[in-house]
Each structure stands twice: as C-alpha cells, then as structure tokens.
Structure 1
Amino acid sequence: MTRTYVVTGAASGIGAATAALLTGQGHRVIGVDLHDADVTVDLTTHEGRTALVTHVTELSGGRIDAIIANAGLATESTATVAVNYFGAIATLEGLRPLLAGSDAPRASATASMASLFPVDDALVDACLAHDEPAALHRAQQLLDEGQGGLIYGSTKRALARWIRRNAATPEWAGAGIPLNAVAPGVIRTAMTAQFTSTEEAEKAILQMVPMPLNGIADAPVVANLIAFLTSVENSHLCGQVVFVDGGSDVVIRGDSTW
C-alpha cells in the first residue's frame, strides 16, 4: 500500500535517510527543507509555517498518511528554539487535519537524548506555554550569559513533554493517530561533523554521550525507527519517546522509569 509522508528536514541527515528509505519502499514523500525539497520554507518564521501547510495541502490534494516533524538545529542560537520546538509543533498541528482521510494516520517528531542533560527550566516553560516571544527572549538571555549550550537540550525536552501531554488527547489518540517521538544519540550527520570527524573527537563526545551499544550510529538507524513509528503496523504506541542512542538513556537514567 502506497502511503504519503511529509518529512521536514528532508534535505540532509536523518530526514534525508528517512525520505530515501520510505521512497525505496514505494511510498510518496513530500520533502520539506530550506533547499533541495518539494516544499522550501523557513520554519523559524510564522510565514514559513503557514506556507508549509498551504504547499503540502496543494501537493497532497488535502490528504496525507503521516507527518514526520524532523527538522531541527543544534546551534547556540534563538533559531534553534524557533525550529526545534515551535516549528515542530506548527508542523504537527498544522498538518494534522490532512491526516483525517488516511486509513492509518501516523505522526512522529525528532527529540534527542540531549533532553536528558541539564536544561533551562524557564526556556522549557516558555515553550510549553506556547509563548514564542518569551522563549526567544530567554534564549537570547542564555546566549548573553554564556549559557547557550542549554538551548538545544531545553528545546528537545520541551518537545518530548509536548508529545507526552498531547498524544492521548482527543485530537490525536481520539482521532486514531499514534503520536510518538524518537530520541537519537550521536548520529553521524553534517550536524555532528565536529564531534565525529576524527577519532579523538569521537572519543571526547562519547565521554559525554555514552553509547556502549555499537557506538555512534548512522542516520539510517534512526530512519528505520521513524519508518516503523509511522507505519501501518504501529497501531498502539502512544506518546512514547523512543531512545535510539546506543544505551545513553540506560547509562544516564538507569531504572528511573519505575
């Protein structure tokens, strides 16, 4: 059965690997990115988010089967907040009505194992309050204070919490839509090149992000998980943040899920 998927961040990294995998399986993929995509928009802006919904609606004829909100940044910048949290939520909520015609609607977002690291509570709270001006202001304060390293993990924790809070609601579970997220560890992509380009760099990042099972992963590893989460077969996973991190979650949190 051919399905129609929307993949944001489709031009590189995990998004490109996911788009290639799904296309190879015979599905239709509407790729979204800043360049080299079916829909070229900037998800840091309200205009870009609106254009995303308009263009995807036009290209799909108003019906899709799955949303993969994967686009993200890992820079110490306010743009990381705009894309990682507000862009992801706008993608999921804006495209959700297009899932109504699917026999097996699905949705996935890309969080990160970085959500396990210390975060800035004020930034997380501003995101979850859907107060983008406040969130961007707090991110700028962190940058001014030399605490920009907290931004990325904070956006990913906020995204994971949003998934948990919304997955079982009438709008998602009540409409038969499994909403889940993946939380990758260090993945070998252009975004992580500074951490994976040399043996010394890899040893250093693995001291910070322990990955005892097979070490640093390639993008197709995450793509395979996303493909399952958004497949017909996944009918009952609801609000799960699935860590595909070579064991980082286990090492850092132990048995804290009980």
Structure 2
Amino acid sequence: MGLRTYVVTGAASGIGAATADHLEGCGDRVIRCDVRDAGVTADLTTPEGREQLASDVTAASGGRIDGLIAVAGSAAPSPLTARLNFFGTVATLESLRPLLAASDLPRAVAVSSLSAVVAADEAIVAACLSMDEDAAVAAVTTAVEAGRGRIVYPSTKLALNRWLRRAAVSPDWAQAGIPLNAVAPGVVDTETARRMFLDDPATRAQVSSMMPQPLGFPGPVSAIVSLLAWTVSPDNSFMTGQILYADGGAEATLRP
C-alpha cells in the first residue's frame, strides 16, 4: 500500500490534532487545516474562508487527496456554530470532492456527535437542510435569545447527519466510488470537554446522566481516532452513509 495523502480539518487541537498525528505516525502525508496553527489556515464560518480552504488544499495536494477527515466544529451557543458545523463542513466535503475523485481509493468522514440523538431544534435543522444559511443563523439566534443555546450544537450535528446520509448514496459520492461516513463520538477526554464541563463536578454529573456511557465516562480520544482512521483507509471499501456511534454504549442505552 502506497503513501496516502489525507486532509484533516480542525487539526490544531483535540480529536483533529490526534487524528493528524496518528495518520502521520502511520507514514502517511497529512495536510492540516484549521483557523490557526496549521499548514492551511482558513475560517470555515465564512464563504471566503471556505474558498480559501479549497484553493490552498488544491495547491498543497497537487490536485489529488486520498482521504478527508472533517473534524472542525464548535459547541458555542452561537450562530457561528451553525456556520461552521454544518455549512462549513458541507462546503469542505463538496469543495474537496473533486480532489478525492482523482484518487484510486478515496474516502471521506465527518465528525458528528452523540448529542444529536439527545435533543435538537427542528427549525435549525430544517434551515440547514434547505441550505439557507441566513435562515439557519436566524433560527439559532431565536433559540439563543430564548435561553436554549445548548440546543444549537446537537441541532447542527443532526442536520449534518441527515445531509450526509442523503449525499453519501448520490451520484456524486457513492456512484463516483467515494465512501462517505460520519463518526459520532460520545463524551471523550479532550481539552475542550474538560474546559466546558468535565472539570466542573455538577456539570459533569449532569452531562453523564444525559449521555450515559456504560463503557466509561469520559471515553478515550484514541478510540475515536482509530475509527476515523479506519473509515478513510483502503480497508473501508463497502460502507457508506453510516453514522458510527463511538460512545461507550450511550446511543444503545438511550435508544434500545
């Protein structure tokens, strides 16, 4: 098996950085992308940044990539979360798809979230799936102003799941020979998770009760990295359109 070229967004920290490190440790080439501290820097919350990402990755890769791991995301109760988690991720997948099509064994995966099965705002989801970014921002703003800011993140991830399952079996993806999947982590031990809720005992207990993980809380980042790496490897030749819950059993507990 020859050297593969991978693109990882959100590669400056957390799951993205760990995934990029893992792939490089396996001897593959990784084009790291993030808003800072990366080989390709671009702000995926803006149309200009999305265009910049596509342009710079095309130049850095020479016009061909073998795998795309779209990790970049935000959990902030803000319209920027919809702009990044849904619209930025979809733009990344679609704009880099031609580079994947140039590979003999192309693969793509996005990072979703277990939280998408816990709660969501259908107005946000519907606006995203209609590809109306202004309407999505308005729906997020309404939710935040109503004191429902925590619903924003899972809503954007649910919208991403639904878009991905439809896109994965379309002519542009499956019929072009490009498997497209998502990995939905439960709560894992990242710096962001520690800062947001793991370090606070009360918040940690609340999140643990909402998203019970029989195999352990929080889970290891390495488990997510290994799964992401497999989905974009040549070994994944026949799975597409799947949301893979790497969550210590939480999804099975919540939806038995």
Q: Shorter-chain-normalised TM-score: which range?
A: over 0.9
Which runs of no fewer than 5 residues in structure 1 stay unpaired?
none
Whether contact under 8 Å (2:198, 2:204) holds in the other structure is yes
Q: Show CA shifts across 1:210-246 (max 9, x none).
A: 0001321122210100000000000011100000000
2:181 pairs with 1:148: no
What is aligned with 1:244?
Answer: 246
Amino acid at match of 1:191: T
Q: Distance in 2 between matches of 1:217 and 1:89?
A: 27
Higher mean displacement: 206-215 or 192-201: 192-201
Separation of aligned partners in 2, 1:198 and 1:123: 29
- AA in 1 matched with 2:154: G
Picking from 211, 223, 226, the partner of 1:224 is: 226
Partners of 2:225 and 2:245 in 1: how far apart? 13
Q: 1:154 to 1:201 in 2, by over 3 A?
A: closer
Q: Quick one: which amino acid aligns to residue 225 of structure 1?
A: L
Q: Which amino acid aligns with 1:208?
A: M
Specify whether residues 197 and 113 from structure 1 end up closer, same or farther in structure 2 by C-alpha distance, changes over 3 A only. same
Contact 1:107 1:230 in 2 (8 A): yes
Partner of residue 33, structure 2: 32
Shift of 1:200: 5.4
Match of residue 96 from structure 1: 97
1:3 to 1:243, Cα distance in 2 relative to 1, 3 A: same
Report what 2:54 is aligned to: 53
Q: Alignment partner of 1:139: what SS?
A: helix
Structure 2 distance, partners of 1:2, 1:46, is: 32
Corresponding residue number in structure 2 for 1:138: 139
Separation (CA, whole Å) in 2 of partners of 1:202 and 1:122: 28
- Kept in 2, the 8 Å contact 1:183–1:243? The answer is yes
Is the Cα contact below 8 Å between 2:33 and 2:42 reproduced in 1?
yes
Which amino acid in 2 is paired with 1:161?
R
TM-score of the two chains, using structure 1 as the length reference: 0.96
2:108 maps to a residue whose letter is: A
* Distance in structure 2 (CA, Å) of the matches to 1:199 and 1:121: 31
Give the superposition deviation at 1:78: 0.6
User: SS state of the match for residue 225, structure 2?
Assistant: helix
Bigger shift: residues 184-193 or 125-134? 184-193
1:119 matched residue in structure 2? 120
Given that residues 109 and 180 in structure 2 are in contact (C-alpha distance below 8 angstroms), is that contact kept between their aligned partners in structure 1?
A: yes
More displaced 10-residue stretch of structure 1: 101-110 or 190-199: 190-199
Residue matched to 2:235: 233
CA distance in 1, matches of 2:217, 2:80: 29
* Unpaired runs of at least 5, structure 2: none
2:214 aligned residue? 212
Instruction: Give distance in 2, aligned partners of 1:31 and 1:62.
Output: 16
- SS state of the match for residue 149, structure 1? helix
Q: Does residue 1:253 correspond to 2:255, yes or no?
A: yes
Output the CA distance in 2 between the equivalents of 1:77 and 1:133: 13
How far, CA to CA, are the matches of 1:251 and 1:158 in structure 2?
A: 22
Q: Is 1:74–1:191's contact at 8 Å kept on the other side of the alignment?
A: no
Q: Write out the 4+ residue segments of structure 1 that deviate beyond 4 Å after TM superposition.
A: 198-201
Separation (CA, whole Å) in 2 of partners of 1:139 and 1:204: 23
CA contact (8 A) 2:16 2:71 kept: yes
Q: Secondary structure at the match of 1:188?
A: coil
Cα distance in 1 between the residues matched to 2:110 and 2:218: 21
Equivalent pair of 1:195/1:202 in contact (CA under 8 Å): yes
Contact 2:188 2:217 in 1 (8 A): no
Distance 1:198 1:150, change over 3 A: closer
Percent of counterpart pairs with the same letter? Answer: 50
Q: Deviations over 1:22-44 (max 9, x none)?
A: 00000000011011101111000
Task: Give the superposed CA RMSD.
Answer: 1.1
TM-score normalised by the chain length of structure 2: 0.97
Q: Distance in 1 between matches of 2:189 and 2:200?
A: 12
